[in-house]
Chains A and B, each alone.
Chain A
Amino acid sequence: MSTAHDATHDPYGASESETTSGRVFTVTGQDWDTVTSGVADEAEDRIVVNMGPQHPSTHGVLRLILELEGETITEARCGIGYLHTGIEKNMEYRSWVQGVTFCTRMDYLSPFYNEQTYSMGVERLLGIEDQVPEKAHVMRVLLMEINRISSHLVAIATGGMEIGALTVMTIGFREREMCLDLFELITGLRMNHGFIRPGGVAQRMPPGALDQIRDFIALMKKRLPEYAALCNANPIFKGRLVDVGYLDLAGCMALGITGPVLRSTGYPWDLRKTQPYSGYEDYEFDVVTWDTCDAYGRFRIRLEEMYQSLRIIEQCADRLEGLQGAPIMVEDKKIAWPSQLAVGADGMGNSLDHIKHIMGESMEALIHHFKLVTEGFRVPAGQAYVPVESPRGELGAHVVSDGGTRPYRAHFRDPSFTNLQATSVMTEGGMVSDVVVAIASLDPVMGGVDR
C-alpha cells in the first residue's frame, strides 16, 4: 500500500509536482500506484492526460491531449509538428529532379507515392505526360503496389502490436522485409529511393527481378491467409476493433478523409478507378469496401487490398516480360537524367560507360552532362495538381513553377495530415483504451503529417 508521501521516496513511482494548473504526474513507464492514489483525493476534478510525443502507441511523434472523466474521453486533441523538417521549403532550393530525393522522405512508409505524385505534377507542367514510356508506367505501378502491400503490412502489424497481438506484428514485419528486399533489388535502396523521376524511372529492371517478383507473389499468396486466419474471426481482435473509431460517410466528406477510412463507409472511391493514372485503367482489380465504418472494417479493407495489389503486381510482371529492353525515360535528353547508374563490383554506382563517353569521347556530351546535372531543366510557368491513391488516401502535390530550374513551390496534400483530424470525432465519448485502436485505424505516418 503506497501513499503519495511514500511515493516521493519510491524510485519506481511516478514523480509528482505542483504547478499553477494543478498537480502534475510524470509517468514514463513506472508503477501507476502513485497516480491512482494521488488523483483519488480529487476524483471530481477533470484529469488531462498528455500522451506522447514519445510514446510507443502513437505511430511516431504524435502528441495526444486527452481529457478524461473516469475512463471515458471527453475531449481529445492532437499536437503535431514534432517531425517537421521543412522538406517543402528545402525543395525550393534544389533542381526539379532533386525534388524527388526530398519528397520521397515525407511519408516514409509509402515513398513511391510521394515520388509519383510529384513527378506527375512536373510532367504535367512540362507537357510530357503522353511521352512517358509504357515501361516506366508499368514499373511505377509495380513499385507502388508492392509499396501498398508493405505499407498496409506496417499498418496491420503496428495496429496489432498496440492491442497486444504481437504475432501479427512479427509476421507483418516478416513479410514487409520481402517487399523491402524487392525494392532493394530494383531501386538499390530499401527506402528513400528517389527512383520515380519526372519523365520516367531511374533505372532498368535488374536481371532476375521478374523471377523474384513471381516468387514473392507465390509466397504472399500463402502468407496472406495467415493474417485472415489469425485475426478475421478472432474474438479478442474483434472485441477490440468492432465499432471502435466510428466515422460515417458524412463525417469523412466533411473532414476530407480518403483512403481505407472512406472505403470503410461503403463508398467505393479509389482514384485508381475513378481518375486513373499511369495506366491503372488497364489492370484488373477490385475496389474493396466495407460497410461498418469502424476499425475492424478498415483492417479487413487493408487485408483485402493486399490481395488486389498482388493481382496488379502479377499483371505488371506479365507485361514487363514483353517489355524487355523498352525505354524507361522520355526521349527528350534535356529532361532525362544523362547518366544511368550501373551495378559494379562494389554495388550501385556511376556507369563507367557513361563516364568514358563524356570524359574521353565527346566534349559536347560532357557539357550537356554538366548543364543538366548542375543546372537542371526549366519548367514552364504554371501550376499543377495530380493526386494519386496512396495507401492512406489521396496524396497530391501542388507544384508551382515560375519558369525556372527549381520548384517555385511544392506543397503536399498528405492524407495522414488530413485524416488525423478525425481523431477527436473518432475517440470522444469512447474509452481510453480505444484511442490507440482508432488512431491505428487511421494509419497516420508522422513523416507525412509534419513534412
Chain B
Amino acid sequence: MPEDATPGSTLPAAPGARYHEAVDTRTGMFGTRGSGDTTGYGGLVQPVTMPPPSEPPYGGWFDEVAQALSSGLAEMGLPDTVEQVVVDRGEITFFIRRAGLLETARLLRDGEALRFEMCLGVSGVHFPGEKGRELHAVYHLLSMTHNRRIRLEVACPEGDPHIPSVVSVYPTNDWHERETYDFFGIVFDGHPALTRIQMPDDWPGHPQRKDYPLGGIPVEYKGATIPPPDDRRSYN
C-alpha cells in the first residue's frame, strides 16, 4: 500500500500507484500518409492518453462510495481489486482487476452505503495500442437509493480475453454481455449461454474491434469514384 494513503484505505492513492500509459500513439495530423505532406505536421508524434488517475479526496459523495468500497473489499480479503480511480468531468470510474469483478459487483449491489441496484449493461472498448490491456469492458451502475452513478472499467489482454460474468449479480447483463462478446470477443466466464446476439451465429470475427474493417464498396457517381468510408482520407 502506498505510504501516503489514508489510513484504512486500500485504494491506490497517487497517480504513481498504477501506471498511466498512453493507450495509443497519433502520428501526423491531417491524415496524409507517405509523401505529399506539405504541412510539416507529418512527422508529429503524440501519445494518446486517457484522463489520469485521481487522488483522494475525490469530492462529494465519491469519497463515501470509494471508502465503502475499499473497506468492503478489504473485509472480503480482496484489497488490491481496485487498480485506480479516475474522477473526470464529474464522473467517477473505478478500474477493477478482473479476478475480483464478481465480488466487487456483489458488494456494490448489496453494501448498505453503496446500493447500486441497477446495472446499465456493459460496453466494450478496444485499445489495440494498449499492450496487455487491449480490451476494456465498461459497466455503468446506478444507485436509485442514493441517486448516484459510477462506472467500472475492467481490462483484459487480447490473447486471454476472459472477464468474469456478472449475470449472477445483475441478470440484466445477460444480453449486454452477449453483445459485447459478439462485437469484441470478450469471453464472459460464467455466463449462462454466451452466444452471438446481433451477428449471425456463424459470423467470423468480432466486428467492433478496431482491426475489423468497416467494409463497403466504392461508389461511382458522375464519373468520379467515392471510396468507402474507412478508405477515405480522415483527420486523425
A residues contacting B by CB (< 8 A) are: 80-81, 84, 86, 88-90, 92-94, 124-125, 127, 253-258, 269, 274-275, 374-376, 381-385, 387, 394, 396, 398, 400, 402-406, 408-409, 411, 413, 417-418, 420-421, 450-451
Contact = CB atoms under 8 A, between A and B. Distances in A.
A418 B121 contact: yes
B123 to A, nearest CB: 4
Given A275-B149, A396-B140, 8 more contacts: A89-B214, A127-B89, A254-B172, A374-B235, A382-B50, A383-B50, A384-B91, A385-B120
Contacts of B32: none
Contacts of A81: 196-200
Contact of B120 (A90, A124, A387): A387
A381 B50 contact: yes
Nearest to A403: B48
Contact of B88 (A86, A94, A382, A406): A382
Contacts of B176: 418
A88 B91 contact: no
Contact of A385 (B49, B125, B149, B174): B149
Given A127-B89, A403-B48, A254 B214 contact: no
Nearest to B50: A381
A253 B110 CA distance: 13
6 nearest A-B pairs in the assembled complex, by CB-CB distance:
A256-B172, A411-B123, A81-B198, A375-B235, A84-B198, A93-B229
Contacts of B125: 383, 400, 408-409
A382 B89 contact: yes
The interface size bin for chain B is: 35 or more
A405 B50 contact: no
A253 B171 CA distance: 9
B229 A398 contact: no
Contacts of B138: 383, 398
Contacts of B174: 421
Contact of A90 (B24, B149, B179, B214): B214
Nearest to A250: B117
Contacts of A408: 125
Nearest to A419: B172
B75 interface: no
B198 A421 contact: no
Contacts of A387: 120
Contacts of B91: 383-385
B181 to A, nearest CB: 13
Contacts of A417: 175, 179
A405 B89 contact: no
Nearest to A253: B117
Contacts of B89: 124-125, 127, 382, 384
A418 B172 contact: yes
Of the listed residues A382, A383, A409, the one surrounded by the most CB atoms of chain B closer than 10 A to its CB is A383
Interface in B155-178: 170-176
Contacts of B200: 81
Contacts of B51: 381-382
B118 interface: yes
B144 interface: yes
A72 B43 CA distance: 69
B207 interface: yes
B230 interface: yes
B60 to A, nearest CB: 14
B38 interface: no
A253 B118 contact: yes
26 contacts: A81-B197, A88-B208, A89-B214, A92-B214, A125-B89, A127-B89, A256-B121, A256-B172, A258-B118, A274-B147, A275-B149, A381-B50, A382-B51, A382-B88, A382-B89, A383-B88, A383-B138, A385-B151, A394-B142, A396-B120, A403-B48, A406-B234, A411-B123, A413-B123, A418-B175, A421-B172
B172 A90 contact: no
Contacts of A269: 144
A80 B198 contact: yes
B23 to A, nearest CB: 7
B236 interface: yes
Contact of A450 (B140, B196, B198): B198
Contacts of A450: 198
B123 A398 contact: yes
A256 B234 contact: no
A275 B90 CA distance: 14
Contacts of A253: 117-118
Interface string B176-213: 10010000000000000000111110000001100000
Contacts of A127: 89
Contacts of A396: 120, 140
B120 A403 contact: no
B222 interface: no
Contacts of B151: 383, 385
B119 interface: yes
A363 B102 CA distance: 59
Contacts of B48: 381, 402-403
B142 to A, nearest CB: 8
B71 to A, nearest CB: 25
A427 to B, nearest CB: 16
Nearest to A88: B208
Contacts of B93: 383
Interface in B117-131: 117-121, 123-126
A385 B140 contact: yes
B120 A254 contact: no
A322 B172 CA distance: 45
Contacts of B118: 253, 256, 258
A89 B207 contact: yes
A376 B175 contact: no
A82 B51 CA distance: 37
Given A402-B23, A413-B140, A90 B229 contact: yes
Nearest to A269: B144
A446 to B, nearest CB: 11
A86 B172 contact: no
Nearest to B48: A402
